[in-house]
């Protein structure tokens, strides 16, 4: 009897849902979707189960892949933290807005430079459309008061203004060893809360210093969950850039020896847990079907830290480099009912495309008063069309080191990993790789395919001619 009624219920449920479910892949939205961006720090292409991680378990991120869309050719705009974040938030290459450096590659505490007021961030663009905007995690686009997230489109920010390995309290010669046995007090980074008070004034307070990094992943997630619950009835944008798995690695006590893949694996599994918290919350609040969740990383694994860094899978090298391991990252989109499940796409995407994509989905428009590097991926997400991106530039600072066109990538210059002195090598003729046949960039085919190489070079030159390089904000360091 019980079985029969369950079966009957199921039949009527399926009957009721089937046409809608079919329809919903094309249906116009009655309200703009919410956006959640979870952005890991220095997590490699090969660190998730769905990307072939051999030991680390990431069931919640794998669920995003199984129920959503997994991109195999997703890129960031730089191979290190600050410029990569600039690309995601402005939809522009860092060379265009000064958020790069040729002498120093990221911003450090106390530097005078940072994101300029003229830049329009994704948070500002969405807030103009009526979104509530909350940020939970690492900023790294300037730590002076005028640069903080609440001055650049976020209503609320809870997080650390730069990397978790800055503000070292140790003598220089002891710093590297400290990563092997990290203690909170070795890095005097502040944990900050910033928001507008009732009078509309921005109030910024340091909650603790040094931040207790053992609970930082958990607290970012719990604050984001609270924000989602509080804003469930209005469109919201949640930006959750984790401080982990950037060294020093910390995880909550419950994740110690959790992974079978050491401290690094534990940290990834805690990040995965945090993604589960977000997905569960969206479902509990009944808004999963109206929320786009995106997961990625700001750059590839920090190979200079060897076993404390992650894996780039089949890709070559990692953080700081313009080989694909430095700039190709996981890209997972989850939007139940709109994004069809179990889709793996080999289309090319970039974190700078989130700007145009999210504005397209929310009914906004991309700024037309400035050059943008943002293409609308919505047709691919909805399963309605081909990807618009054919080309990917690989910059190191202001210099174009490599260029991808379709499956071909040419390297003009290559250089060593971040944090270690590496030899700069100029390639004439450039190296040429076929990334579909040779994702590890091992077999240089420049001599075999001169006509392809000539085409990639000409497209790279055309791209370069269209980019006005802004003066570096980072190289100003402490004096303007
Ligand atoms: Mg990073």
Q: Any idea what the CATH number is for the domain that residue 418 is in?
A: 3.30.1120.10
Is the domain of 63 the same as that of 124?
yes
How many CA atoms, within 13 angstroms, populate the side-chain half-sphere of residue 35? 26
Is the domain of 382 the same as that of 400?
no
Q: For position 31, what pLDDT does the model report?
A: 87
52 domain residue, yes or no: yes
- Which residues 6+ apart lie within 8 Å of 197 measured at CB? 203
Q: Are 324 and 70 in contact (CB under 8 A)?
A: no
pLDDT in tens, 323-377: 999 999 999 999 999 999 999 999 999 999 999 999 999 999 999 999 999 999 9
Q: For position 87, what pLDDT does the model report?
A: 98
Q: Are 187 and 213 in contact (CB under 8 A)?
A: yes
Q: Which two tokens stand for residue 8?
A: 């009957």
Is the domain of 415 the same as that of 323?
no
For residue 343, give the nearest of 395, 309, 380, 305 by alpha carbon. Answer: 380
Is the domain of 329 the same as that of 446?
no
Mean confidence (pLDDT) of the chain: 94
Q: For position 29, what pLDDT does the model report?
A: 56
Residue 91 Ramachandran class (φ > 0 left, ψ -120 to 50 alpha, else beta): left
Residue 286 Ramachandran class (φ > 0 left, ψ -120 to 50 alpha, else beta): left
Nearest-angstrom CA–CA distance, 436 and 442: 12
416 pLDDT tier (thresholds 50, 70, 90)? confident
Is the domain of 208 the same as that of 121?
yes
For residue 329, give the nearest of 78, 89, 106 by alpha carbon. Answer: 78
259 domain residue, yes or no: yes
Nearest-angstrom CA–CA distance, 428 and 218: 49
Residue 25 confidence (pLDDT) above 60 = no
418 pLDDT tier (thresholds 50, 70, 90)? confident
Q: How far is the CA of 234 from the centre of ligand 1 (A)?
A: 31
Is the domain of 381 the same as that of 450?
no
13 domain residue, yes or no: no
Is the domain of 273 the same as that of 420?
no
275 pLDDT tier (thresholds 50, 70, 90)? very high
94 domain residue, yes or no: yes
Is the domain of 76 the same as that of 170?
yes
Residue 28 confidence (pLDDT) above 90 = no
Q: Which residues are bridge partners to 345 per DSSP?
A: 71
Is the domain of 112 the same as that of 241?
yes
Q: How far is the CA of 41 from the centre of ligand 1 (A)?
A: 4
480 domain residue, yes or no: no
Q: Which domain holds residue 461?
A: 393-465
Q: For position 13, what pLDDT does the model report?
A: 36
Of 324, 356, 389, the position where a domain reaches its end is 389
- Which residues 6+ apart lie within 8 Å of 19 measured at CB? none
Q: Are 296 and 72 in contact (CB under 8 A)?
A: no
327 domain residue, yes or no: yes
Catalytic residues, which ones? 81, 140
Is the domain of 380 the same as that of 425?
no
Q: For position 90, what pLDDT does the model report?
A: 98
Residue 2 confidence (pLDDT) above 60 = no
Q: For position 23, what pLDDT does the model report?
A: 39
Of 389, 404, 428, the position where a domain reaches its end is 389
471 domain residue, yes or no: no
Nearest-angstrom CA–CA distance, 402 and 125: 31
Q: Are 76 and 289 in contact (CB under 8 A)?
A: no
Query: Alpha-carbon torsion 301, 305, 311, 316, what sign?
Result: positive
Q: Which of 21-30, 142-151, 216-225, 239-248 has the lowest mean pLDDT?
A: 21-30
Residue 92 confidence (pLDDT) above 90 = yes
Of 331, 362, 389, the position where a domain reaches its end is 389
Residue 14 confidence (pLDDT) above 80 = no
pTM of the predicted model, to two decimals?
0.94
pLDDT in tens, 210-245: 999 999 999 999 999 999 999 999 999 999 999 999
Strand order from edge to edge, sheet including 408-414: 391-396, 399-405, 408-414, 425-434
Q: How far is the CA of 242 from the centre of ligand 1 (A)?
A: 10
Q: What is the CATH number of the domain that holds 122?
A: 3.40.720.10
Q: How far is the CA of 145 from the centre of ligand 1 (A)?
A: 22
Strand order from edge to edge, sheet including 236-241: 202-208, 191-196, 156-159, 132-136, 236-241, 34-40, 291-297, 328-334, 69-75, 343-350
Give the pLDDT mean for 433-441: 98
**262-284 helix and 59-67 helix, angle to the nearest 10 degrees:** 50
In total, how many domains does the chain have?
Answer: 2
Q: For position 366, what pLDDT does the model report?
A: 97
12 domain residue, yes or no: no
Q: How far is the CA of 426 from the centre of ligand 1 (A)?
A: 25
Sort 184 into a burial class: Cβ within 10 Å, 0-12 / 13-18 / 19+: middle
Q: For position 242, what pLDDT does the model report?
A: 98
Is the domain of 352 the same as that of 206?
yes
pLDDT over 70 percentage in the chain = 94
Q: How far is the CA of 47 from the centre of ligand 1 (A)?
A: 14
Is the domain of 148 the same as that of 163?
yes
Q: Are 308 and 249 in contact (CB under 8 A)?
A: yes
Q: How far is the CA of 118 from the centre of ligand 1 (A)?
A: 25
Residue 267 Ramachandran class (φ > 0 left, ψ -120 to 50 alpha, else beta): alpha
């Amino acid at each position: 009897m019980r079985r029969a009624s369950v079966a009957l219920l199921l039949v009527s449920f399926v009957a009721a849902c089937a046409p809608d479910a079919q329809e919903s892949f094309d249906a116009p939205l009655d309200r703009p979707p919410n956006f959640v961006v979870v952005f890991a720090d220095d997590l490699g292409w090969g660190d998730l189960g769905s990307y072939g991680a051999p030991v680390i378990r990431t069931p919640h991120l794998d669920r995003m892949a199984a129920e959503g869309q997994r991109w195999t050719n997703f890129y960031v705009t730089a191979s290190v933290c600050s410029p990569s974040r600039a690309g995601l938030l402005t939809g522009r290459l860092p060379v265009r807005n000064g958020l790069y450096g040729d002498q120093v590659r990221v911003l450090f505490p106390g530097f005078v430079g940072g994101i300029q007021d003229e830049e329009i961030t994704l948070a500002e663009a969405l807030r103009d459309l009526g979104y509530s905007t909350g940020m939970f995690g690492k900023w790294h686009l300037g730590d002076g008061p005028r640069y903080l997230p609440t001055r650049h489109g976020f209503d609320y920010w809870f997080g650390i203004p730069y990397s978790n390995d800055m503000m070292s309290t140790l003598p220089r010669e002891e710093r590297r060893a400290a990563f092997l046995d990290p203690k909170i007090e070795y890095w005097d980074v502040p944990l900050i809360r910033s928001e507008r008070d009732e009078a509309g004034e921005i109030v910024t307070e340091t909650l603790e210093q040094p931040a207790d990094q053992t609970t930082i992943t958990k607290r970012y997630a719990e604050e984001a969950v609270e924000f989602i619950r509080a804003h469930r009835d209005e469109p919201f944008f949640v930006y959750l850039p984790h401080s982990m798995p950037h060294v020093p690695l910390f995880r909550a006590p419950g994740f110690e020896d959790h992974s079978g893949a050491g401290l690094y694996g534990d940290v990834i599994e805690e990040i995965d847990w945090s993604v589960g918290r977000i997905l569960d919350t969206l479902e509990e609040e009944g808004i999963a079907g109206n929320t786009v969740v995106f997961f990625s990383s700001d750059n590839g694994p920090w190979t200079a830290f060897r076993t404390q860094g992650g894996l780039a899978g089949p890709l070559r090298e990692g953080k700081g480099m313009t080989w694909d391991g430095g700039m190709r990252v996981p890209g997972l989109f989850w939007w139940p009912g709109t994004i069809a499940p179990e889709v793996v796409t080999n289309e090319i995407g970039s974190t700078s495309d989130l700007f145009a994509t999210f504005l397209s989905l929310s009914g906004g428009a991309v700024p037309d008063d400035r050059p943008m590097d943002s293409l609308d991926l919505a047709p691919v997400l909805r399963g309605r069309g081909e990807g618009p991106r054919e080309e990917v530039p690989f910059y190191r600072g202001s210099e174009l080191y490599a260029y991808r066109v379709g499956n071909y990538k040419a390297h003009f210059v290559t250089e060593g990993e971040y944090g270690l002195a590496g030899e700069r090598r100029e390639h004439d003729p450039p190296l040429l790789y076929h990334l579909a046949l040779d994702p590890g960039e091992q077999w240089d085919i420049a001599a075999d395919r001169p006509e392809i190489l000539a085409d990639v070079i000409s497209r790279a030159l055309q791209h370069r001619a269209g980019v006005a390089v802004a003066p570096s904000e980072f190289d100003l360091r402490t004096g303007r």
